[in-house]
Amino acid sequence: MKRTHHCSQLRASDQGSTVTLCGWVDSVRDHGGILFVDLRDREGLTQIVLDPANKGLEAQFASIKPESVIAVTGKVEERFGGTANAKLATGEIEVHAVELEILNVSKTPPFPMDDSADKVSEDLRMTHRYLDLRRATNTKMLRMRHATSRAIRNYMDDQAFIEIETPMLFKSTPEGAREFLVPSRMNPGAFYALPQSPQQYKQMLMVGGVERYYQLARCFRDEDLRADRQPEFTQVDIELSFIDREDMYELIEGLMKRVWKDVIGVDIETPFLRMSYYDAMNRFGVDKPDMRFDLELKDCADIFANSGFKVFKGTLDSGGAIKAFNAKGLADLTQGELRSLEDSAKALGAKGLAFIKSVGGEWKSPILKFFSEEEKAAIKEQLQVEDGDIVFFAATEWERACTILGRVRLDAAQLLVKRGKLTIDPNDYKFLWVIEFPLMLFDEDEGRFVSSHHPFTSPVPEDIPLLDSDPKAVRGQHYDLVLNGVELGGGSIRIHQPALQKKVFEDVLKIPADVVESRFGYMLKAFEYGAPPHGGIAFGLDRMVTILTQRTSIRDVIAFPKNQKGQEMMTASPGIATEKQLRDLHIKAVLPKKDS
């Protein structure tokens, strides 16, 4: 029997037609011997009526089990007597079966095939991912991912970009995250590395005159996993020539506008807000602030400049900072909630979490006794303290103080949401460009400067003289696009002059000249043959789709994700190599003693 319609297609106008449907048995209901079957395919549901008066059908009733695959031919009839289902696209009709073919009988699934399965062990669902994908919610997410990719491709085509694939087998350039290595059988002792991004290849495409490149690139990082991280992921990778930062902002804002409109029908406002890295850290304690709520950090150095509180005064005298924010309405937090906030602060290097509560017209705090009346009045005015509020403090070096309170701010916001005192609307899309990052950061462990973005990022032109005298003061021409506290992606204007790139490698980053030559020699040579000014950006496609579908984990929007141990449960990947495979590759597997 050849399918004539999908299971969300038939309407009252089809009454009297003879049709054939195929799909999975979603549910079976026995009404006095007559079976009502909800038949499901990827498009939706249609109700099938199986009358035992048709003896050919009745003989197969015992095989009609949920998740079995069947084909049905029958006549479309309108539902009468108030039985229409307004919640169903096909709710006005039903198909009265004439013929039935059991294509495959299913065992009882190990978990429900509806949204209640979200409460089932994720490892169980991932082991049976082929079942999990049948659920309407997951099918919808895969289709939204497809719609997102299609919108991106359509927009990039409109902007005259060329989609180009770059190699998967690259070489190791261990400046970034840990890489996956692939042994080369034909080159004993040598290894490929799976690309963390196509960074160097796309820059070579610019030298090659491509001018406008993009791809939906597969990327790989061998790092510890969490809800927004997978060992293999997809990024929207973009590079173009003869542009500056303003051109990039305009291009990407247009892309986001197209994606949000095409995929979920939402018009987003452009241009996006811009904020320097310093302002983001100083006001929100993080370089990817969620702009849907306030709770801003305040600088309290002026209040405590002459304080008798030795902890605060000592911090300021040593060049540190005192930051605070008012978690308005959270003075009723429990001891357990307070301990949890304190643990978050300690995990980032704080010795504790100082606070002041305002309850019943009184201020309560272990540190209150150290404050003068003038200091209390200044705190009240600067932080707008009212009854029911709690103020949190951090006193340490500036960046750490910001980071500590930035984390506490996010945790406090969730506590306020639970109490109904703060609304964070998932449909409120607050896009933000974070710009003017420092080009370099000093790594205390390595005793040298490292790139805050990557070593190909161009300095702001007027800051180039500072590379010799004060590298930490040099601003980079890179930019991050942030949405509701999530970094969607980032990029930069690149260095295209060989002398400047060599200087950054050797003089600033202190990479030995022979290492520069072995890793990047071809790039420096390429730049000597007329490299154009160029820049680019990359977005996490998985993260973007996670936001569009309002999920909390990128694993939900990947067809076959890996768990937090990097295992793909359905196929039991990774697996053990045979001795012959290892011999052919000229390598040995050396296991830790506890695993050997």
C-alpha 399/C-alpha 449 separation (Å) is: 17
- E strand or H helix at 256, and its extent? helix 245-264
Residue 487 labelled as part of a binding site: yes
Q: How far apart are CA 211 and CA 201, in angstroms?
A: 13
β-bridge mates for residue 269, sequence order: none
All residues at 6 or more sequence positions from 132 whose CB lies less than 8 Å from its CB, including other chains: 111, 117, 125, 126, 138
575 is in an annotated binding site: no
Instruction: State yes or no: 528 annotated in a binding site.
Output: no
List all residues 6 or more positions away from 235 whose beta carbon is below 8 Å from its beta carbon.
197, 216, 217, 219, 489, 538, 539, 540, 541
381 annotated to bind ligand: no
- 163 in a labelled binding site: no
CB 364, CB 337: distance < 8 Å: no
DSSP conformation letters of 543-582:
HHHHHHTT-S-GGGGSSS---TTS-BTTTTBS-PPPHHHH
Report whether 453 belongs to an annotated binding site. yes
The number of C-alpha atoms within 13 Å of 364 and in the hemisphere containing its C-beta is 11
Would the annotation count 540 as a binding residue? Answer: yes
Q: Is the dihedral of CA 426, 428, 433, 438 positive or negative?
A: negative
175 is in an annotated binding site: yes
In the chain, how many H helices and how many E strands?
16, 22
> Rounded distance, CA 84 to CA 90, Å?
9
Tokens matching residue 407: 């984390």
Nearest Cα to Cα of residue 566 among 129, 181, 176, 223: 223
For residue 66, say if its preceding peptide bond is cis, omega within 30 degrees of 0: no
How distant is the alpha carbon of residue 560 from its chain centre?
16
> Using CA atoms, how far apart are residues 233 and 560, in angstroms rounded to an integer?
11
Inter-residue contact 331 to 359 (CB < 8 Å): yes
Phi-psi region of 51 (alpha: psi -120 to 50; beta: other; left: phi over 0): beta
User: Is there a binding annotation on residue 448?
Assistant: no
Q: Is 230 annotated as a binding residue?
A: yes
Answer for the pair 42, 125: CB distance below 8 angstroms, yes or no.
no
Q: Is 542 annotated as a binding residue?
A: yes
Residues ≥6 apart with Cβ < 8 Å to 221: 176, 177, 178, 179, 180, 196, 229, 231, 233
Task: Please check if 494 is assigned to a binding site.
Answer: yes
Q: Let me know: does 23 contact 72? Beta carbons within 8 Å.
A: no
Q: Which of 308, 345, 331 is nearest to 385 (CA)?
A: 331
Positions at the binding site: 175, 221-223, 230, 453, 487, 494, 540-543
Positions at the binding site for L-aspartate: 175, 221, 453, 494
Positions at the binding site for ATP: 221-223, 230, 487, 540-543
